[in-house]
Amino acid sequence: MTETTVHTHAAPTTKAAGHAQTHQQHPIGLYLVVWLLLFVLSTFSYLVDYVGLQGYLRWSLILLFMVLKAGLIVAIFMHMAWERLALIYAILLPPLLVLVFVTLMVSESHYVLFTRLTFFGAAP
Amino acid sequence: MSAETHSPVREPLHRPAGLAGFAADWASDQRTFKNVSWGKAMMWIFLLSDTFVFGCFLIAYMSARMSTAVPWPNPSEVFALHIGGTDVPLILIAIMTFVLITSSGTMAMAVNFGYRRDRKKTALLMVLTALFGATFVGMQAFEWTKLITEGVRPWGNPWGAPQFGSTFFMITGFHGTHVSIGVIFLLIIARKVWRGDFDTERRGFFTSRRGQYEIVEITGLYWHFVDLVWVFIFAFFYLW
């Protein structure tokens, strides 16, 4: 009973909702553009090393290009941009908790280094 | 109305979009990931677990590198190749990155042709993807051989902190294993596509029973994830 009522409303209401319900079918051109962008971004991150940038400029550029590349792969190649929010949040939010783990281990690493320097001294 | 739109594919439920839809999906006593097939949802959840595995590896590497009192080798020099009389920094890693990105591009196009039910192009693009993957693994074997002959071991290396060796073999080894499994997975599905299993609804290992080409997209998810992990390894291990 409920199923039939639901079925009559099946016509896509918004463009986004209609898109998510069909198969992930997108123009080839979009994939080629993303492909090209990934190539360019990889070249940039390689150039950061090749040119020999150092310090905060180097780290921020590496991280920027990394995040852009990862975002493009997940959003377009893996079709995350067109999935329902229920799936997007279930998959993308948990990895953020890894950052808590990173913070814990940064603190721990500082402590380990501190004890090593205190009890064993610097490099042999 | 509902009868004429009936297809072997399950009719999607009408749900609100955006945040209201998110709340409705998670609050309901039905399937949370509506209109997402089990195959796809389970691949995503597997990839989430794999994210934690690689996350732990990279965190272990970070901890080792931050806590060592011995200098860390300079990856830019360690992974340089001697070409034409000069040392080109990281050149092999850069080529490996481009090969993997290209394989991701061909995979995305294979998924596209799969949904168009263009068997030949789908299978060929998947085989091409597998070839790029195999090329990547081959270059990694070259990289490993080079470093092993230079004396890098899981317990040490000639340039400083011994943890460099262990994290290098652990992280790139695990990633290479993923690529190799992906190549095998791609070839299995490509063969099924070529043979027309999804049109004849032939049953079998990893084959949908309803003649859908969605398995190509699911294979693609795995393959793009391998590329995604490499983005992080490239940034944190080779460039940092």
pLDDT digits 0-9 by tens, B84-125: 778 888 889 999 999 999 999 999 999 999 989 899 999 999
For residue B64, give every residue at least 6 positions away whose Cβ sits within 8 Å of its Cβ, in sequence order, or none: B161, B163, B166, B167
What is the Cα–Cα distance from B233 to B169, expressed in whole angstroms? 12
Among candidates B36, B108, B239 on the partner chain, residue whose Cβ is nearest the Cβ of A31:
B108
Question: A39 and chain B: CB distance < 8 Å anywhere?
Answer: yes
Decide which of B150 and B207 is more confident: B150
Q: What is the DSSP letter of B153?
A: B
What is the Cα–Cα distance from B100 to B135, expressed in whole angstroms? 9
Q: Which residue of B has its CA nearest to A113?
A: B67
What pLDDT was estimated at residue A26?
86
pLDDT digits (tens, 9 = 90+) for B24-79: 888 876 677 877 888 889 999 999 999 999 999 999 999 999 999 999 999 888 88
What pLDDT was estimated at residue B208?
57
What pLDDT was estimated at residue A12?
40
pLDDT digits (tens, 9 = 90+) for B221-238: 999 999 999 999 999 999
- Tell me: pLDDT of A82 over 70: yes
**B88 has which bridge partners?**
B81
Q: Which two tokens stand for residue B126?
A: 């998947």
What pLDDT was estimated at residue B113?
93
CA-angle at B26, arms to B25 and B30, nearest 5°: 65
What pLDDT was estimated at residue B133?
97
Q: Which two tokens stand for residue B187?
A: 């070839």
pLDDT band with cut points at 50, 70 and 90 for residue B138: very high
Q: Which two tokens stand for residue A33?
A: 């553009």
Task: Tell me the average pLDDT across B8-22.
Answer: 71
Among candidate residues B125, B87, B119, the one with its CA nearest the CA of residue B105: B125
**Which regions of chain B does DSSP assign to beta strands (E)?**
81-83, 86-88
Question: Can you say whether the dihedral through the CA atoms of B38, A27, A42, B104 is positive or negative?
Answer: positive
What pLDDT was estimated at residue B83?
82
pLDDT digits (tens, 9 = 90+) for B206-219: 665 566 788 899 99
User: What pTM did the predictor assign?
Assistant: 0.85
Residue B26 distance to chain A (closest CA, Å): 7
CB contact under 8 Å between A95 and B44, yes or no, is: no
Q: Which residue of A has its CA nearest to B117?
A: A25
- Tell me: pLDDT of A7 over 70: no
